[in-house]
């Protein structure tokens, strides 16, 4: 019982690290309102690249390790269609409740981040079920991998008009989902009963939809057409590179 409680304690502590670390970095930016606004403007292209890299270099890869390509692709397609329908419903809802000013992409982005955190929690708990050292290394790897994407999504929510207080609250609650999922996985004890491949595919479809249908079109609309030089493509490519390099370092030197 003592060993079991020790493992559970490790799971709770380390499943919180990734979310709290990325949240702490984002909160530092909120101390300075002008800095936060500047960050929000530059975060969207970076986040678009980070989301695309996370889909093609992380979620699809992990999903294919758990299921066949046809299952992953079908799950991704279903994810795109589901979130398209969800956005249509949200737009219809706000059309009939125009006193509530909100961007339909905001709740969708929050849902996707929450699903991603849930998957992180499952992965961390599964590693701890193997051994405590394996769990610690996995938790730190997940934290390192999540920081670029989480900070970028933080900036997107700011740029969409959400207040700083609400952004912090949403991110705290979303981060706690990873801990709840990790604890649940620990008690289930049999991670192979969870359809991880399907869940990875659904999450990939959602993130792909957000990046391509919302963020990138917004970047095209807001760029300075009179200026020859534009930071947005560079920042988008930087988002891809940061996530790709981070993933490569984790898989080759941390494992």
Over residues 208-220, the mean pLDDT reads 81
Average predicted confidence (pLDDT) for the chain: 75
In the numeric block, the tokens 């708990």 are attached to: 125
Domain boundaries along the sequence of the chain: 2-219+231-254
H, E, C per residue of 66-92: HCCHHHHHHHHHHHHHHHHHHHHHHHH
Taking a C-beta distance cutoff of 8 angstroms, is the pair 136, 27 a contact? Answer: no
H, E, C per residue of 160-211: CCCCHHHHHHHHHHHHHHHHHHHHHHHHHCCHHHCCHHHHHHHHHHHHHHHH
Could you give the CA distance from residue 77 to residue 74 in angstroms, rounded to a whole number? Answer: 5
The pLDDT score that the predictor gives to residue 31 is 66
* Nearest Cα to Cα of residue 19 among 215, 187, 242, 170: 170
The pLDDT score that the predictor gives to residue 2 is 43
Measured CA to CA in angstroms, residue 225 lies from 37, 56, 230 at distances of: 21, 30, 9
Lowest mean pLDDT among 130-139, 145-154, 156-165, 182-191: 145-154
Total residues belonging to the chain: 255
Residue-wise pLDDT for 32-83, tens only, equals 666 656 666 677 788 788 888 888 887 788 788 878 999 999 999 998 998 7
Could you give the CA distance from residue 45 to residue 232 in angstroms, rounded to a whole number? Answer: 6
Over residues 119-131, the mean pLDDT reads 76
Lowest mean pLDDT among 51-65, 82-96, 107-121, 234-248: 82-96
Taking a C-beta distance cutoff of 8 angstroms, is the pair 227, 218 a contact? Answer: no
The pLDDT score that the predictor gives to residue 83 is 78
Task: Find the angle CA(149)-CA(153)-CA(156) to the nearest 5 degrees.
Answer: 145
The pLDDT score that the predictor gives to residue 33 is 61
Q: Which of 80-94, 97-111, 159-173 has the highest mean pLDDT?
A: 159-173
Segments in 31-68 forming alpha helices (H): 33-54, 60-66
Structure pTM?
0.65
Query: Which contacts of 23-27 are long-range, i.e. CB under 8 A and separated by 24 or more positions?
Result: 23/150, 23/154, 23/168, 23/171, 23/172, 23/175, 25/147, 25/151, 26/150, 26/151, 26/154, 26/155, 26/167, 26/171, 27/168
Percent pLDDT > 90 in the chain is: 5
């Amino acid at each position: 019982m003592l060993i079991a409680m020790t493992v559970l304690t490790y799971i709770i502590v380390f499943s919180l690290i990734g979310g709290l670390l990325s949240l702490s970095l984002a909160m530092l930016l909120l101390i300075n309102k002008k800095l936060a606004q500047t960050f929000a403007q530059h975060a969207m292209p970076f986040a678009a690249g980070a989301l695309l890299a996370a889909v093609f270099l992380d979620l699809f890869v992990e999903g294919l390790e758990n299921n066949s390509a046809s299952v992953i692709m079908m799950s991704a397609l279903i994810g795109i269609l589901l979130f398209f329908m969800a956005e249509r419903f949200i737009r219809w809802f706000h059309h009939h409740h125009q006193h509530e000013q909100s961007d339909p992409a905001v709740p969708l982005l929050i849902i996707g981040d929450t699903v991603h955190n849930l998957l992180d929690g499952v992965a961390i708990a599964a590693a701890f079920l193997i051994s405590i050292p394996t769990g610690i290394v996995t938790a730190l790897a997940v934290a390192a991998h999540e920081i670029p994407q989480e900070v970028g999504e933080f900036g997107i929510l700011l740029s969409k008009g959400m207040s700083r207080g609400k952004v912090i609250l949403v991110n705290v609650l979303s981060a706690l989902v990873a801990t709840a999922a990790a604890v649940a996985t620990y008690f289930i004890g049999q991670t192979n009963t969870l359809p991880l491949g399907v869940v990875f595919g659904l999450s990939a479809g959602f993130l792909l939809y957000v990046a391509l249908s919302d963020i990138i079109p917004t970047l095209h609309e807001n760029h300075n057409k009179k200026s020859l030089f534009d930071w947005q493509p560079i920042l988008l490519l930087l988002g891809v590179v940061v996530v790709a390099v981070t993933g490569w370092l984790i898989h080759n030197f941390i494992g």
